[in-house]
A = this chain, B = another copy of it.
Amino acid sequence: MKNTFGNSVAVTLFGESHGEYIGAVIDGLAPGIEIKREYIEHMLFLRRPDGKISTPRKEKDEFRIVSGMINGKTTGTPLTILIPNENVNSSDYAELKTVARPAHADYTAQCKYHGYQDSRGGGHFSGRITAALVAAGAICKSALEAKGIFIGTHVKKCAGIQDRDFSDYTADITALGEKTFAVLDSNCEEPMKNSILEAASEGDSVGGVLETAIIGIPAGVGEPWFDSAESMLSHMMFSIPAVKGIEFGAGFGIADMKGSTANDSLRMKDGKIVTETNNNGGINGGITNGMPVIFRTAIKPTPTIFKAQDTVDFMSLTDALIEPKGRHDPAIVHRARVVQDAAAAIVICDMLSMRFGTDWLCES
Contacts and interface: CB of A to CB of B under 8 A. Distances in A.
Given A234-B238, A252-B245, A312 B266 contact: yes
14 contacts: A2-B223, A16-B77, A22-B67, A76-B116, A105-B286, A108-B283, A124-B224, A204-B260, A207-B259, A223-B358, A239-B286, A255-B298, A258-B301, A268-B312
B245 A238 contact: no
A223 B286 CA distance: 25
A302 interface: yes
A227 interface: yes
A251 interface: yes
Contact of A77 (B117, B227, B318): B117
Contacts of A14: 25, 27, 67-68, 77-80
A257 interface: yes
A311 B302 CA distance: 45
A310 interface: yes
Interface stretch (A41-49, A96-104, A172-180, A182-190): A96-104
Interface string A248-270: 11111111111110111111100
A209 B257 CA distance: 12
A288 interface: yes
Number of this chain's copies in the complex? 4
A298 B247 contact: yes
Contacts of A93: 70-71
A317 B283 CA distance: 20
Most chain B CB neighbours (cut-off 10 Å) among A72, A255, A260, A276: A255
Contact of A31 (B13, B117, B231, B238): B117
A207 to B, nearest CB: 5
Given A1-B227, A318-B268, A257 B129 contact: no
A285 B107 CA distance: 10
Contact of A362 (B114, B125, B314, B355): B114
A3 interface: yes
